[in-house]
Structure 1
């Protein structure tokens, strides 16, 4: 594995995808710690990096990408390693069962469809946005619950699991466009019509603000109805730093759209992921 390949796999970026996993674990309360550790390893150290690498290979970005301000040139080595990690994830997942492995396969194929030139969902603003939010939220939540508890598929279709799974996607549908807001020029030159490019810079902020508010309200009502008023209130409290950062950044961008850059985006991602991860850890430990 070359240094360029290792950087493009973006292992630290899995931290930003961790909240959905922790939310699923907190709600499902698995008891087999070995199985839990295996699911975490397969998702965050194999499947997600494989997807990052595969997308980087076909995107051929010259500007900043999620987790890499100055991405090095990609090579065929990255393509091969992304497939190797994908294969390792599928094989290790079989230690749980074939259904879990098949769910990983579906996720991997969707991820490839996002960037592969024969499909390239990235060129389709609404479809690409819906697919990313659905699979990184709803699908990942159910995949985690199944992998860590082996809950039956019939049970996963009940409102007990469907509600938090849908809330996970709602949060992703709100936050995902913000991850594209600094890439408009490169996406436009490459012919990729992302949802953020379609909305425009300020439109992306308005869109995220509305979705974030609706998602926050949804989580608040879910925690109140399913667990306690205190847990719902605690969720709101933990999101205060995210809201303050987002609003402060928005005011800067209104004056100067060049402030919608890589560093501000990554800081928002970090603050959001940090606060959500901390909340879901506390949530899991207090149940």
Structure 2
């Protein structure tokens, strides 16, 4: 079961790219403590997300590059069972906080399985898969993390100060998600997966992302100015500049040579984007929770 190929397909380091959602939820949480931070972080990033990665890999059986694996090894049956075990461990950890949090993880796991399982395979429907991936990795995950971090129940679904930032995370993901599929057109078409990026085409994917990401950044700016402080809006825009610069650089490369829409450039964009967002949300958490002020005061 625990073969090297299995561990590779779990792609645990890939959780780094989903970390901004957790950090954003942490930054706006009013009722957190150290133990819940650790439990939620481990449950999501070391078990729930890897379980989803492994399960998808098992049914996709990709022969070419996938997110986090340039040369994916052949999948084995043990990967399927390992993914299920990781799901159970994630839910078990979540139960240490609350049954509501555990239920959210369970639902996330079901949807991630439906995304790739041949009986449902949401992935083959361009707009539906785009919406569901952005919704569950964004809004749903933000609320799930917020509930776990604060030990809150489903009443948070009625609170604007929770739902609005949750929506913002999905706006970013809806904008960026097609870019993660841009190098997989050949592989996806072989399986009959009509992804949104495949439907838009390579240059269309760039144009779609440029527009959607601009809208998302504008909404973030409005959110920070309206609900927090103008300085966060400015710092967010400055933090996104490396992403915009690399995106423009890559677009010019692709405009000259379409083959530049490959795995390496995609992973660089993902890495820069995740790094910038993670740094910003760590800063936002430390400053918004007044941890930085406490440090400066000598506490």
Which TM-score band (shorter chain)? over 0.9
Structure-1 residue corresponding to 2:68: 67
> Counterpart of 1:170?
171
Between the aligned partners of 2:39 and 2:174, the Cα distance in structure 1 is 28
Deviation digits for residues 90-136 of structure 1 (CA, Å, limit 9, x no counterpart): 11111111111110010001100110000001110000000000000
Does the residue aligned with 2:187 lie in a helix, a strand or coil? helix
In 1: Cα distance, 2:125 partner to 2:179 partner: 17
Aligned position for 1:260 = 261
Deviations 1:143-165 (A, max 9, x none): 01100102342233221111101
Give the TM-score, by structure 1 length.
Answer: 0.99
* Equivalent residue, structure 2, for 1:159: 160
Q: Distance in 2 between matches of 1:29 and 1:284?
A: 11
Cα distance between partner residues in 2 of 1:28 and 1:204: 34
Distance 1:81 1:31 in 2: 31
Contact 1:53 1:82 in 2 (8 A): yes
* Deviation of 1:30 (Å): 4.0
Instruction: Give the corresponding residue for 1:40.
Output: 41
Deviations 1:246-281 (A, max 9, x none): 011001111111000000000000000000000000
Contact 1:29–1:284 under 8 Å retained in 2: no
Matched position secondary structure for 2:28: helix
Per-residue deviation, residues 189-246 of structure 1 (Å, max 9, x unmatched): 1111001000000000000000100000000110111111111000000000000000
Distance 1:170 1:80 in 2: 33
Name segments (4+ residues, structure 1) moved above 4 Å.
none
CA distance in 2, matches of 1:280, 1:155: 21
RMSD over aligned CA atoms reads 0.8
Distance 1:56 1:231, change over 3 A: same
Matches for 1:1-287 after TM superposition, within 5 Å: 1-287=2-288
Give the length in aligned residue pairs: 287
Unmatched runs of 5 consecutive residues or more in structure 1 = none
The whole-number CA distance in structure 1 between the counterparts of 2:123 and 2:156 is 33
The 3-state SS of whatever aligns with 2:68 is coil
Preserved contact between residue 100 and residue 154 of structure 2 (Cα < 8 Å):
no
Which moves more between the two structures, 157-166 or 234-243? 157-166
TM-score by length of 2: 0.95
Q: Which moved more, 1:154-163 or 1:70-79?
A: 154-163
The whole-number CA distance in structure 2 between the counterparts of 1:63 and 1:155 is: 41
The answer (yes or no) to whether the contact 1:123–1:191 under 8 Å persists in 2 is yes
Q: Say if 1:19 and 1:277, in contact at 8 Å, map to a contact too.
A: yes
Cα offset for 1:5? Answer: 0.2
Aligned equivalents of 1:61, 1:191: Cα separation in 2: 13
- Contact 1:121/1:128 (8 A) holds in 2: yes
Q: How far did 1:57 drift? A: 0.2
Gaps of 5+ in 2: 289-299
